[in-house]
Each structure stands twice: as C-alpha cells, then as structure tokens.
C-alpha cells in the first residue's frame, strides 16, 4: 500500500492536528522525538528490539543487524546519519532464523511508560517514508488484544503489512487499514474502534509471510501521527499545524550552522536558542537577534541546541561541538 507525495500532501491537509513521533533527528537516537519532548518523567518513546530467540533452538533465532536486541547501544548504530538529503533515519536488517516454525523480529517503542494506555480515538492516519527490500508489518499494540485475550494471540495486534521498494516511498496507514493480523481467531472479530482508546506502543516487524533465511532490509523515517495532538500523550508543545512528511523533511534543513568563528541561523525562523548540556540543563540562552553569535560568547564543549521557532514549534535537533 503506497501513496504518492501529491496524495499524501492532500491527506496531510485533512487535519491540522499532528504529532511527529520520530524523525531520528533528536540528539538521543534511542528515543523518539515525542518521547524526548515529553521529558524524563514520562519514560516515553525508548526504542527497543525483539526477536524469536526464546521460541526456537538456541543460536538459530532471527538475526537483527545491528543487534538492537542484545546490545544496549544498538540503536545508536541503527540510526544512519545520512539517508539522503542529509537526513538521518532508522536502518535495520533482519535475517530469518531456522530454529522456529514462524520466525519473527522487530523494533518498537512505548508511547508512554510501559503498560500506560493512550486514547487514539482522534487519530485518522499515520504517515512515514520507507525503502528497502522485503515486506514488513506496522503494528499498533493495544491492551484489548495484548492483555485481555489469551496470551497465544498477543501477536495479533492491529496493523497493516507493506511491501518495500528500492527507492524512498511515502506510506499512509488510514484507520480503515488497521486490522488484526490474519490467523488469530480471538482477535479476528475486533476492529480498530474496539481497541483505539487503549493503545500502548508501535511495533515495526517482519511480515506474517517472513520465513527462515528470508531477509528484510528496512529503512524508515519521518513517522507522523495525524489527527492527534501532543496533549494525547500529555505533552504541551506546539507542533507545526501542517506537520507531515514533506514538512518534516523540510524542517531538517540545517537551521543552525558554524560559519568561520560564528554560529549562524535563520533569524526569520528562530526566535530563541537554548544551549543545553548532556543532562538537559540550560547553560546559555539568547534570542534570535540578527541570526549569529560569536563562538567566543558561547560556553565551550559539546552542547545540544533547542531552537524555538516562529511557528511555535521547538526544534531540538542540533548538536554544536565548541571544543
């Protein structure tokens, strides 16, 4: 199921409410952008990996490259710095294991703290960019199936299966396409409307047809939820009212850059800058001014920069190394 950029542009205008879940451009690569924005107390949006190693013969499980499952730094390795146009993205490869009848593997994140429900009644679609080879399933994990049904059916959560192409394509999941995975009898009669008010996480996984020795090579970027606002997750930031794939891509054009002995930015877009240390403490702030600041006026070291934009959005994407 694919949708052209022109169709997506039209779709993105159907609602002014959007949340950029992740564009893989925030400083903490193992956490979604929405989780980073919510802050530490929410314990939200931390990416993880999983596979079938505990279901089959030892050593014959599905392999994920890089090893996000067994390596705590796996997601740092899985975020490729340049996936085209200077944009980072998530890149993972899966090779089907031979020790389990139905091999599987995937990556995912909780919207909030583990076990916390989110009401996605207002959501009308999710869009993202992807490329690669093979097919994958995009799942919305819900309490109704995951916890309320027999554990044998937990894998049946609501989602859509996609085929990848070698070139970047824009994909859209409308609510009519969010359906139970085939083959789970207890979940087959449920609809997205039955589950949407108790949604907990997103999983991006190998498809139901994935078999031993099959390969899925997945590149994915710009995950945007349409029809929801940050308040759904308990957030209060101002998302760009036209957020979508195209705007998510355009906002990654460098807003802040070094030019000789100065730091420069677009003063038409940037209203204020906060320079933040690794612990999240603000060490220096300045207004947009004329769009530049001498490096000698800034604290030394590697700093994160939050740019407060004229649109009301916050861009936390820039890291400045002043050593």
**Does 278 lie in the same domain as 161?**
no
The pTM assigned to this predicted structure is 0.72
Q: End-to-end CA distance of the chain, in Å? A: 47
**Does 314 lie in the same domain as 184?**
no
**Does 276 lie in the same domain as 236?**
no
Q: How confident is the model at residue 173 (pLDDT cuts 50, 70, 90)?
A: very high
**Does 106 lie in the same domain as 193?**
yes
Cα distance between residue 281 and residue 273, in whole Å: 13
Q: Locate 225 and state its tokens.
A: 């939820």
Q: Which of 199, 222, 250 is the last residue of a domain?
A: 250
Is the pLDDT at 138 greater than 70, yes or no? yes
**Does 300 lie in the same domain as 225?**
no
The CATH number given to whatever domain includes residue 45 is 2.60.120.430
Sign for the pseudo-dihedral over CA of 266, 270, 274, 277:
negative
Q: Which of 250, 265, 289 is the last residue of a domain?
A: 250
Cα distance between residue 36 and residue 237, in whole Å: 12
User: What is the domain extent for residue 234?
Assistant: 5-250
Structure confidence at residue 12 (pLDDT): 42
Is the pLDDT at 280 greater than 70, yes or no? no
**Does 80 lie in the same domain as 58?**
yes
Q: Which of 217, 250, 283 is the last residue of a domain?
A: 250
Cα distance between residue 68 and residue 62, in whole Å: 12
**Does 122 lie in the same domain as 77?**
yes
Is the pLDDT at 123 greater than 90, yes or no? yes
Total of domains in the chain: 2
Cα distance between residue 271 and residue 71, in whole Å: 40
Cα distance between residue 178 and residue 153, in whole Å: 17
Position with higher pLDDT, 184 vs 138? 138
Structure confidence at residue 269 (pLDDT): 76
Is the pLDDT at 165 greater than 60, yes or no? yes
The predicted-structure confidence for 176-232, as pLDDT tens digits, reads as follows 899 887 766 555 678 899 989 999 999 999 999 999 999 999 999 999 999 999 999
**Does 177 lie in the same domain as 123?**
yes
**Does 156 lie in the same domain as 303?**
no
Strands 270-276 vs 89-95: parallel, antiparallel or unpaired: unpaired
**Does 262 lie in the same domain as 198?**
no
**Does 279 lie in the same domain as 200?**
no
Structure confidence at residue 243 (pLDDT): 53
**Does 191 lie in the same domain as 91?**
yes
């Amino acid at each position: 199921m694919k949708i052209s950029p022109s169709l997506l542009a039209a779709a993105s205008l159907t609602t002014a409410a959007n949340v950029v879940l992740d564009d893989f451009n925030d400083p903490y690569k193992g956490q979604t952008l929405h989780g980073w924005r919510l802050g530490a107390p929410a314990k939200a949006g931390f990416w993880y990996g999983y596979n079938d190693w505990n279901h089959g013969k030892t050593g014959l499980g599905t392999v994920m490259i890089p090893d996000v499952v067994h390596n705590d730094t796996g997601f740092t390795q899985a975020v490729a710095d340049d996936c085209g146009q200077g944009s980072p993205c998530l890149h993972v490869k899966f090779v089907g294991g031979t020790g389990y009848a139905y091999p599987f593997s995937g990556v995912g994140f909780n919207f909030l703290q583990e076990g916390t429900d989110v009401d996605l009644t207002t959501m009308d679609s999710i869009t993202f960019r992807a490329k690669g080879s093979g097919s994958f399933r995009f799942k919305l994990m819900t309490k109704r199936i995951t916890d309320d049904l027999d554990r044998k059916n937990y894998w049946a959560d609501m989602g859509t299966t996609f085929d990848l192409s070698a070139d970047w394509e824009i994909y859209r999941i409308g609510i009519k396409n969010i359906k139970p995975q085939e083959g789970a009898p207890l979940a087959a009669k449920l609809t997205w409307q039955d589950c949407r008010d108790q949604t907990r996480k997103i999983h991006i996984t190998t498809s139901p047809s994935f078999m031993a020795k099959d390969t899925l090579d997945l590149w994915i970027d710009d995950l945007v939820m349409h029809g929801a606002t940050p308040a759904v997750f308990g957030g209060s930031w101002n998302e760009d009212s036209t957020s979508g794939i195209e705007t998510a891509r355009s906002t990654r054009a460098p807003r802040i850059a070094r030019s000789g002995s100065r730091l420069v930015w677009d003063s038409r877009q940037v209203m204020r800058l906060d320079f933040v240390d690794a612990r999240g403490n603000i060490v220096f702030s300045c207004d947009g001014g004329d769009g530049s600041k001498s490096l000698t006026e800034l604290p030394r070291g590697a700093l994160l920069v939050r740019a407060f934009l004229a649109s009301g959005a916050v861009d936390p994407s820039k890291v400045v190394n002043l050593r």
